[in-house]
Amino acid sequence: MTIFLELKRRVNYILKDWVKFYTKEAIKTLKLITIGSTIVIAVVCIKYKPAYKVTISGETIGYIDNLERIERKIENYIKDTSGNIAFKEIESLPEYHLELIDRDKETRDKNIMLAIEERTTTTYKTYAVTSAGENKTVVESKEEAENIINEVKSDLKPEVDLQLGIVEVYSTELNVNSQEDATKALTELKIAKVNEYETKKAEEEKALAIEKARKAKLSLEQSIASTTKVAATGNLNGMALSIPVTGSISSRFGSRSSSRSSLHTGLDISTALGTGVRPISAGTVTYAGYKGTYGNLVIIDHGNGVESYYAHCNALYVSQGQTVDTGTTIAAVGSTGNSTGPHLHLEIRIGGTPVNPQNYLY
Ligand SMILES: [Zn+2]
CB atoms within 10 A of CB 291: 16
What is the 126 CA–ligand 1 centroid distance (Å)? Answer: 84
pLDDT at 19 over 50: yes
- The pLDDT score that the predictor gives to residue 227 is 45
What is the 342 CA–ligand 1 centroid distance (Å)? Answer: 11
What is the 339 CA–ligand 1 centroid distance (Å)? Answer: 8
- The pLDDT score that the predictor gives to residue 229 is 37
What is the 244 CA–ligand 1 centroid distance (Å)? Answer: 14
- The pLDDT score that the predictor gives to residue 346 is 95
What is the 357 CA–ligand 1 centroid distance (Å)? Answer: 11
At a CB cut-off of 8 Å and minimum separation 6, what does 320 contact? 285, 286, 287, 288, 289
- Among residues 101, 119, 89, the alpha carbon closest in space to that of 64 is found at 101
CB atoms within 10 A of CB 263: 10
Question: What's the whole-number mean pLDDT along residues 76-102?
Answer: 89
Query: SS3 for 99?
Result: strand
**Residue pLDDT, tens place only, 218-247:** 777 665 544 443 344 467 777 888 899 988
- The pLDDT score that the predictor gives to residue 228 is 41
CA gyration radius, the chain: 62
pLDDT at 155 over 90: no
More confident residue, 83 or 289: 289
Question: What's the whole-number mean pLDDT along residues 251-271?
Answer: 81
What is the 216 CA–ligand 1 centroid distance (Å)? Answer: 28
Domains defined for the chain, CATH in brackets: 1-80+88-116 (no CATH), 119-226 (no CATH), 239-359 (2.70.70.10)
**Residue pLDDT, tens place only, 347-359:** 999 999 999 998 8
- The pLDDT score that the predictor gives to residue 159 is 81
What is the 96 CA–ligand 1 centroid distance (Å)? Answer: 119
Question: What's the whole-number mean pLDDT along residues 272-278?
Answer: 94
Look over the chain and give the mean of its residue pLDDT values, rounded to a whole number: 87
pLDDT at 1 over 80: no
What is the 240 CA–ligand 1 centroid distance (Å)? Answer: 23
Beta-strand runs (E) in the chain: 48-56, 59-64, 85-90, 95-102, 120-131, 134-139, 164-171, 235-236, 239-240, 248-251, 267-270, 276-277, 283-290, 296-303, 306-313, 315-316, 323-324, 331-332, 343-350, 353-355
What is the 335 CA–ligand 1 centroid distance (Å)? Answer: 11
What is the 272 CA–ligand 1 centroid distance (Å)? Answer: 16
What is the 24 CA–ligand 1 centroid distance (Å)? Answer: 166
Least confident of 83-92, 110-119, 165-174, 249-258: 249-258
Query: Taking phi first (over 0 means left), then psi (-120 to 50 degrees means alpha), and beta for anything else, what does residue 295 get?
Result: left
What is the 354 CA–ligand 1 centroid distance (Å)? Answer: 12
What is the 238 CA–ligand 1 centroid distance (Å)? Answer: 26
**Residue pLDDT, tens place only, 279-321:** 999 999 999 999 999 999 999 999 988 999 999 999 999 999 9
- The pLDDT score that the predictor gives to residue 270 is 92
Structural contact between residues 120 and 87, judged by C-beta atoms closer than 8 angstroms: no
- The one-letter code for the residue type at 260 is R
Instruction: Say how far residue 327 (Cα) sits from the centre of its chain.
Output: 71
- The pLDDT score that the predictor gives to residue 325 is 94
What is the 71 CA–ligand 1 centroid distance (Å)? Answer: 114
What is the 266 CA–ligand 1 centroid distance (Å)? Answer: 5
What is the 26 CA–ligand 1 centroid distance (Å)? Answer: 162
Structural contact between residues 49 and 103, judged by C-beta atoms closer than 8 angstroms: yes
What is the 253 CA–ligand 1 centroid distance (Å)? Answer: 8
What percent of the chain lies above the pLDDT cut of 90? 44
- The pLDDT score that the predictor gives to residue 226 is 44
DSSP assignment letter at 39:
H
CB atoms within 10 A of CB 147: 15
What is the 92 CA–ligand 1 centroid distance (Å)? Answer: 107
What is the 223 CA–ligand 1 centroid distance (Å)? Answer: 23
